[in-house]
């Protein structure tokens, strides 16, 4: 049984999908806490309904630079966390936390990495850029997290066609459906110790 921390900045629909899937798909995991850089995101409401502790932790709450990552690491240790799941979390994960949890932090990105990513590419901005570029395919990427935005080893990708009359909102909605389906698949595989990382490559064991 793995202990999961979910980091979320916004509404928390991926968190809700993960909580549903843990029961439905018998994922050997429990979401132990939800962390946000925002004081009251929608994700906290979803967590509270499920009886999961929530923590608002922002860099601005700490005067010393080292205190913020230390606080996050302490929270993770208090909850015996084995896996950190970023679900719509907009802040960069401090390198100290990445170093303390190597290969144990994952993120979902609403496009096909290595494109349409990096600082500033979040929410509808991603889908606006996808449509403006004229690409015919976008999709979802789940990847491990390193100390940069969106550059860690890719675990799973699924494509979503871009339609000629798409708006960013319509495209986002179709991409989100895929997010809700594939993030639980990846979390299940991790929790069953079926993901093997070799350099940049992530291999799935059956």
Q: Which residues are catalytic?
A: 109
CB 206 to ligand GRF: min, Å? 27
Question: Of the candidates 13, 96, 115, 151, which one interacts with ligand GRF according to CB under 6 A?
Answer: 13
Question: Of the candidates 72, 93, 105, 110, which one interacts with ligand GRF according to CB under 6 A?
Answer: 110
Q: Which residue is nearest to ligand GRF (CB)?
A: 88
14: contact with ligand GRF by CB under 6 A = yes
Q: Which is nearer to ligand GRF, 62 or 168 (CB)?
A: 168
Q: Which stretch binds ligand GRF (CB under 6 A): 97-105, 106-114, 131-139, 158-166?
A: 106-114
Buried b (16+ CB within 10 A) or exposed e, 126-164: bbbbbbeeeeeebbbbbbbbbeebbbbbbbbbeebebee
- Dihedral sign for Cα atoms in the order 21, 179, 117, 124: negative
> Residue written as tokens 């606006």?
128
Phi, psi (rounded to 5 degrees) for 20: -65, -45
94: contact with ligand GRF by CB under 6 A = no
Q: How far apart are CA 44 and CA 182, in angstroms?
A: 22
Binding site for ligand GRF (CB under 6 A): 8, 10-14, 87-88, 108-110, 176, 179
């Amino acid at each position: 049984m793995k202990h999961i921390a979910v980091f979320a900045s916004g509404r928390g629909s991926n968190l809700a999908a993960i909580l549903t899937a843990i029961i439905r798909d018998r994922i050997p995991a429990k979401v132990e806490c939800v962390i946000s850089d925002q004081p009251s995101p929608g994700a906290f409401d979803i967590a509270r309904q499920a009886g999961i502790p929530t923590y608002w932790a922002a860099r601005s709450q700490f005067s010393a630079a080292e205190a913020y990552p230390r606080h996050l690491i302490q929270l993770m240790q208090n909850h015996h966390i084995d896996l950190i799941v970023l679900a719509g979390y907009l802040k960069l994960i401090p390198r100290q936390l990445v170093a303390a949890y190597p290969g144990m932090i994952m993120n979902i990105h609403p496009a096909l990495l290595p494109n349409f990513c990096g600082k500033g590419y979040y929410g509808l901005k991603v889908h606006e850029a996808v449509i403006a570029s004229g690409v015919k395919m976008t999709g979802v990427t789940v990847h491990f997290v390193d100390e940069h935005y969106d550059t860690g080893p890719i675990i799973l990708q699924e494509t979503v066609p871009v339609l000629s009359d798409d708006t960013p909102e319509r495209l986002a909605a179709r991409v989100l459906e895929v997010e809700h389906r594939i993030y639980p698949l990846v979390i299940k595989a991790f929790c069953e110790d079926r993901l093997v990382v070799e350099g940049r490559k992530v291999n799935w064991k059956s």
